[in-house]
Structure 1
Amino acid sequence: MEKTNTVITIGRQFGSAGREIGYKVAKDLGIKLYDKEMLDRAAKESGICQELFETHDEKPTNSFLYSLVMDTYSLGYSSGSYTDMPINHKVFLAQFDAIKKIADEGPCILVGRCADYALEEYDNVLSVFIHADLNARIRRIARIYDLTDAKAKDMINKTDKKRSSYYNYYTNKRWGDAVSYDVSLNSSLLGIDGTAEAIKRLVEIKENNNNKKL
């Protein structure tokens, strides 16, 4: 496949091998993958300390007060009110800006962190959600982290809950719902290589389709 001009965003269930699949696609297409690197970039460009990005990474907020504050900001905040804004919202906005800047630099793969939502207005984006059967995910996480099945299952549930709450809170979509993404793929059905192949083929189809429209 020729070099792509598509930005691929990957949302993923914990243990579905989403990141590994992303790396495979990135290598085959000769493009960069950004995962934690998005946080580094956002920290550097915003001047907000790196640790704060790590602390708030894909973690939801539960505070009722925070929701009230957020509602006032979502109506449009002036530069003055930015200083009063809760730190996790500043972190989210800085990440949002970093994601757009990365996408503006050219084709790449962005893993998690509401990248599909940040790039909603972009025509050259393919948003993918990768899921897998729970048993396959338990086996994978138990092996990687050397856990019992019960502990692996608990870790999966907690991580997915965090990712889901974070995504649902900051976007106008539902995490994992098919309608929230261009395509949803089951990596336990297709395998890691098969899922990577499917994504590359989808990029090709999308680009061919775009060329027809021109």
Structure 2
Amino acid sequence: MQPYIITIARQYGSGGKTVGRMLAKRLGIPCYDREIITMASEDSGINAVLFTDERLKPDLLDRLRGRYKGDTAVPADSSKAYLRDEALFDYQAKIIRRLATEGPCVLIGRCADYVLRDRTDVVRVFVHADAAFCLEQAMLVDSLPEHAVVKKIAEIDDYRAKYYKHHTGNDWNDARNYDLSINSAVLGFDGVVEEIIRYMEVRSEFQK
């Protein structure tokens, strides 16, 4: 089977992160999720928390980014908090491209499918599920009341959709952005992994 870079976009609670790590282990390749944030932080000198804004309240983000309104790129000194969204995204994109050049891997989130859009060795996956399944899975890891988890799911998915739209111009939920759009509630995590591998095998044969 031809080696591929696999990007995984996912709804919160659909198990996309779990699927990504399972797939990476099965294929014997690295999986990068929040590690991308750590690398971008180390590369730029910017505090890692500023790359994880889906977990921060909008008013805090506004205060942080509001310190700078100019067009100068984000400097290494994060204490100055020159926090343009585009600059932060560019640092992450730089890391994603670097990891892709190093060999096959699984990349979770961060618009990796779009960042690597010009490469022919990328398999782009979107993992989704119905609301009940996402809630059930999220309740396993979130120590919150059910109503709070429902709200959290909606907020995170809304943030991801807006983040994707802002940086790519595309609709996060549009299946045309991906090679595979898979319902984890129907196939289960093992089934999703198998389906991705099956797709890669067929694609490898087709491209010979």
What is the RMSD computed on CA atoms of the aligned residues? 2.7
Shift of 1:122: 0.4
Unpaired runs of 5+ residues, structure 1, are 74-80
Check 1:33–1:59 CA distance in 2 against 1; reply closer, same or farther (3 A cut). Answer: farther
Equivalent of 1:168, from 165, 168, 177? 165
Indicate the larger mover: 29-38 or 151-160: 151-160
Shift of 1:148: 3.1
2:22 paired residue number = 24
AA paired with 2:48? Answer: Q
Residues 74 and 88, structure 2, Cα contact 8 Å, conserved in 1: no
AA paired with 1:203? Answer: M
Q: Percent of pairs identical after alignment?
A: 36
Unpaired runs of 5+ residues, structure 2, are 76-81
CA distance in 2, matches of 1:60, 1:183: 32
Equivalent of 1:6, from 4, 7, 13? 4
Shift of 1:149: 2.7
Residues 74 and 84, structure 2, Cα contact 8 Å, conserved in 1: no
CA distance in 2, matches of 1:170, 1:105: 24
Mapped pair 1:159 → 2:149: no
Equivalent of 2:73, from 74, 77, 82? 82
Aligned residue for 1:82, secondary structure, equals coil
Check 1:90–1:59 CA distance in 2 against 1; reply closer, same or farther (3 A cut). Answer: farther
CA distance in 2, matches of 1:82, 1:168: 22
CA distance in 2, matches of 1:59, 1:46: 23
CA distance in 2, matches of 1:109, 1:122: 15
Indicate the larger mover: 139-148 or 177-186: 139-148
Give the TM-score normalised by the residue count of structure 1.
0.82
1:38 paired residue number = 36
1:129 paired residue number = 126
Give the TM-score normalised by the residue count of structure 2.
0.85
Shift of 1:59: 9.4
Residues 83-129 of structure 1 deviation map (CA, whole Å, 9 limit, x = unaligned): 69753221110001110000000000000010000000000000000
CA distance in 1, matches of 2:92, 2:55: 10
